[in-house]
Each structure stands twice: as C-alpha cells, then as structure tokens.
Structure 1
Amino acid sequence: MNPTRPRPRAARVLLVVFAVLAAVHLVALLVRTATGSGGAHAVADAAVLATKPALMPVLAGYALTRGGPPLLAGALLFGCCGDTLLQIGGDLLFLLGMAAFAAGHVCYLVVFARRGTAPARSRTAAAAAVYVLAWGTLVALLWPGLPADLRGPVAGYSLLLTGMAFGSLRIGPLAAVGGLLFLLSDTLIATGIADWPQAPAPQFWVMLTYIAAQSALALGLLRTAGNPAPAAPATARPVQV
C-alpha cells in the first residue's frame, strides 16, 4: 500500500484532533498564566506539558493521510523533537532543540525546491533583499542582550530560518504566511532570551504563532501534493542533415 495515498476519512479525524489539541494547549497556557498557583494552575500546567509534544505528530499524520510528501512529515516531526527538548529546558537541550528545528527547516527547503515555482527574477531579488535586511537588523538588535555562548548559534539558526521563510515564497501565499509566522514565533523566543520587554502571556503568543506557522506551511504544501516543480525545458538540439 502506498503510504502517501490520500485517506480522506482518517485525514478529517486527525485534523479535528489537531484542532482540539491546539485549542486545549492555548487555553491551558492562558489559564496557567492567569493562575499563579493552586489546582487550576496544576491542571493547566499538566495540559500544556501533555499537548505540546502531541501537536506536530498529529499534524504530520494528517499531512501523510492527505498524500503529502514524507519530508513534510519529517519537518513536522523534527518540530516535535524541538518542542519536547525546549519544554524540558536547560542550555544543552535548548541548543539540541534549536538543531532539531534547523533540521526541520532543511526538510522544508528541500520540499520547496522540489514542489515550488520560482517567482520572477526581479521579484526574487527584491524579496531576498528584504529578508536578508530583516535578518541582519534583528540579529544586530538582539546581539547585545543574548548570552555570549548563544550569539553564534542564534545568528546561524536565524539565518537558516530566514532562508526557509524566503523559500516558502515558492509555494504560494499560504505557505509564505507560514514562513513569516515562524519567523515571528522564533523572534518572540529570542526577545525573551535577550530580556526584551514581553507582552502578557508571552508563551501563548509564541505557541499561537508557531502552531499557525506549521499549519500554514503544511496546508500550503498539501495544495501542491503530487505536483512537483516543473523541470526546465530541454535545450533544443540542432538537427543533423
């Protein structure tokens, strides 16, 4: 049996499960923030810990049952590894979690190259300039507040993340929004590490933008499932007479 053959009924069930998990996770984050201690806080904390690692595997299962490319599922499962490692905490696990997300971005870039369509050269150059400028500006602003041992890894990771967001333009508007939301989510994490002022319930906003990002990337790619990027036309050979 082809593992990527679409299975609509299973896909619908998994999509509902993902939506419920996401809603429970986000609500639990708000409850945990609003209740400093007590039974409600403990229940909310348990719900957060249980639902976060489950989100991306369910979304990966949904993508596969929709006939999505295995590398899309791989990107989402690497996201699950990153989610779990960051949830445990600690400097080493933070770096390992960043590496897991980086591997997921590489998976996305490969899928974008295989299934995307390159925009016009002038638009590509302009978009690339904007993304590079945004990356350089952000790193420059964050640099003084980052711990010295994280400056290099954060700069390198953010460059790869920016490349992934730029690459998502090849897929279409929905995936491009997903790439931008991923940039926003990880920027919120970085500003917290750099001790910038945070919005109320900062983890809620991190996860809201992250869940929306992964969902938009997955759905954008699923729209291209089975439609790899067209190959360049072969160069015509002269006819010999």
Structure 2
Amino acid sequence: MRPRLARVLLVAFALAVVVDVVSLAAGYDLGHGIAKPLLMPLLAAHAGVRGGPRLLVAALLCGWGGDVLLLSDADPAFLLGMASFAAGHMCYLALFKPRVGKGAPRARGDWLAGGYVVALVATVALMWPDLPSGLRIPVAGYSLLLTAMAYGAGRLGLVAGLGGALFMLSDTLIATGVADWPQLPRPDFWIMLTYAAAQYLLVRGVLGTLGARPAPTAAYGEMRSTTP
C-alpha cells in the first residue's frame, strides 16, 4: 500500500503543478491561488510515505509556508515568506551535511564552489542598487543561504544538484522582479515551473542518494509465518 500511496501522491503533485502553471499562463488567479498551496504538502506527503528523512519533509513544509505567504503582495508577507524559505534551506543544509562530498572528486567540488561564488557575487552586486533599501540586506543574506544549499545539493549528486540550481534560478527571477528589472512574459509561470521542478528534483535526489527508511514489513511477515 505504501508504494501505491506514494505514487498517488506524486501524481496528485504533478496535477497540481499543471493546474498551477496553466492557470498562471492563462492569467487565472483563482486556479493559482488554489493549486499553489497544495504543491508542497503533496510532495512532502509523498516524501514521508516513501520514508524520506524528516529534515526533507520539514524543508518542503517550510517551502509551503513561503508559498502561502508569497500569495500576498504585502512587504511583511514577502519578508516572512523569505524567512520561511530560508528555514527550508537550513533544513536542506543540515540534511546534506553528513553525506555531502562523499565519493565526489575534489576538483568537481572546487568547480562548483567557484561557480556558485561567482554567481552569488555577480547577482547581488548587479541587483543591489535596484533593490528597495529595506530589502537589500535580507535579500543578500537569503541569497548566501540559497547558494550554500545549491552547492550542497550539487555535491550530493546530479539530480539534487540540478534541483538546487533550478531553485536558484527561480528565486533569482523573483529577485529581478523585486528590483524592477525587465521580465519575461508571464514571469510567475517561469518562477513556479522552475520552483516546482527544483523541489521535485531535490526530493528525488535525496531519496535516491541518502536513501529512505525501510517500510515496517517485518511484523507483517512474522504474523503471516505464524498464521495457520
């Protein structure tokens, strides 16, 4: 039953993503408002049923908090949403720390670190003058934490690394909007598409690399062996 339930939850997550991004592409705010808050609870439930680490579930639920808060355009909601996502990145970092880098070539780690440092410094430096003064320090601090998470994900493996990179892209698109830079058509569509893909790839990478808790089947097997 657990594998079947995990598949059902993953399909439900995929359907919610489709409803969300199609609603954004069509400018249907109600569909986005309904679908967006469902994404991370469904993905967290999938990870939990798969026996994923508690820190993974916690990271996804922090993402859910950020998703809900960012439905509001108010500045306090934006800051609280950013804080919720930051807490999720801290969960990811704590999850990656015990295993990160095991079996990965040193040159690969150095290349990742250098690339992410350049991306962080360039992005913050370019956007700094255009950010509202009250958001400059919070955005810079959040960007540092996000970059550290993406680097840790990259050291974990290719799938998780792609998830971390897409998370950086998604949040950079948000930041460019806050800085009032030119945007792609339907920017929220691209933000949510890259964000949903990022979280899914992080879940897949963590479950595939760090493993999942085994299902409690021993007691059932023992019961069957003793049943006449």
TM over 0.5: yes
**In the aligned structure 2, how far is the partner of 1:99 from the partner of 1:173?**
27
CA distance, structure 2, for counterparts of residue 121 and residue 183 of structure 1: 23
2:91 maps to a residue whose letter is C
Report the residue type matching 2:62 in the other structure.
F
Kindly indicate whether residue 135 of structure 2 is the aligned counterpart of residue 150 of structure 1: yes
How many residue pairs match? The answer is 212
Change (3 A) 1:227 1:9: closer
State the SS of the aligned residue for 1:223.
helix
Aligned AA (2:89): H
Supply the distance in 2 between the matched residues of 1:67 and 1:57 (Cα, whole angstroms): 15
SS of the residue 1:114 aligns to:
coil
Encode CA deviations 1:18-41: one digit per residue, 9 max, x unaligned.
011000111011111xxxxxxxxx
What CA RMSD, in Å, does the superposition of the two structures yield over aligned residues? 1.5
Q: Is the 8 A contact 2:109 2:155 kept in 1?
A: no
Candidates 48, 51, 69, aligned match of 1:67: 51
2:73 and 2:181 mapped to 1: Cα distance?
20
Scaled by the length of structure 1, the TM-score of the pair is 0.85
- TM-superposed CA distance for 1:227, in Å, is 7.2
Structure 2 residue ranges without an equivalent (≥5): 214-228
CA distance in 1, matches of 2:128, 2:188: 22
Matches within 5 A, 1:196-215: 196-215=181-200
Q: Which residue of 2 aligns with 1:36?
A: none
Amino acid in structure 1 at the alignment position of 2:146? L
Q: In the TM superposition, what whole-angstrom CA distance separates every residue of 1:104-129 from its partner, at most 9, and x where no partner exists?
A: 00000111113434323333223212
Question: Residue 177 in 1 paired to residue 172 in 2?
Answer: no
Q: Which residue of 2 aligns with 1:237?
A: none
Give the stretch that moved more between structures: 113-122 or 161-170. 113-122
Greater shift in the superposed pair: 154-163 or 117-126: 117-126
Q: CA deviation at 1:67?
A: 1.2
Q: Is the 8 A contact 2:50 2:212 kept in 1?
A: no
TM-aligned CA deviation for residue 45 of structure 1: 1.5
- Contact between 2:93 and 2:152, CA under 8 Å: does it hold in 1? yes
**Matched-pair contact (CA < 8 Å) for 1:143–1:151:** yes
Asked if 1:51 corresponds to 2:35, the answer is: yes
Match for residue 31 of structure 1? 26
Query: Are the equivalent residues in 1 in contact too, given 2:101–2:109 (CA < 8 A)?
Result: no
Amino acid at match of 1:11: A
Question: Which position in structure 2 is the counterpart of 1:161?
Answer: 146
TM-score (norm 2): 0.89
The residue number in structure 1 matching 2:220 is: none
Map Cα deviations across residues 104-160 of structure 1 (whole Å, 9 max, x no partner): 000001111134343233332232121111100000000011000000000000000
Which of 81, 88, 91 is the matching residue for 2:65?
81
1:11 and 2:6 correspond: yes
Equivalent residue for 1:91, pick from 75, 85, 90: 75
Given the alignment, which residue of 5, 12, 15 partners 1:20? 15
Moved over 4 A (4+): none
Q: Which stretch shifts more, 107-116 or 85-94?
A: 107-116
